[in-house]
Amino acid sequence: MNDSEHDQNPIVAMAQRLRARRDLGAAIDSATANPAPGRGDDAAARFEALTAILETGAKRLNSILGRRNGVTIVRLRAPERLRLRFREKRIALDLDEPRQLVVIAGEGFDGEYQFLESDVPALMNLSKFSTDAGYRDALTGSELLKTIAADVELPRPAHLDGSGPLQF
């Protein structure tokens, strides 16, 4: 089989996309699994810890995808802001320090978030009602990176392009 036969088969293409999504999710989770302990109890310190997790996860993701096709993180100071970019997708995180909140915009995360008491910096959407689906679901750096890179397609592995173990 050559590469064009795989492009024409939608089942193989879907399996490759699912495998790529699973592999990237595992790589992001492994990069963000053991964060450094929190440096404080205020929103600014937790925002700093969340930024560190996002930067670590983005480095791992970019090492897989290549720098040119990878996630870009832009950090702005005074006030603290963070921008995640991947192709046409954008997520903006703005720290509202007086209210101890993070305002997130983009990719369906629009709303005001508060940091939860946990080992990993996690946010809870305050814009949802308690009867809404997903209320009290924690939003972590890993989830943000998985969402922004959800449609990524990895290149076909080189070992699959050969004729395989049987040679005629």
User: Does residue 82 surpass a pLDDT of 90?
Assistant: yes
Give me the pLDDT at residue 32, please. 65
Give me the pLDDT at residue 6, please. 45
Residue percentage of the chain with pLDDT more than 70 = 77
Q: Give the whole-angstrom CA distance, residue 149 versus residue 97.
A: 28
Strongest mean pLDDT among 6-20, 22-36, 70-84: 70-84
- What is the model's pTM? 0.74
From the number of C-beta atoms within 10 Å of its C-beta (0-12, 13-18, 19+), residue 28 rates as buried
User: Does residue 100 surpass a pLDDT of 50?
Assistant: yes
Q: Give the whole-angstrom CA distance, residue 25 versus residue 32.
A: 11
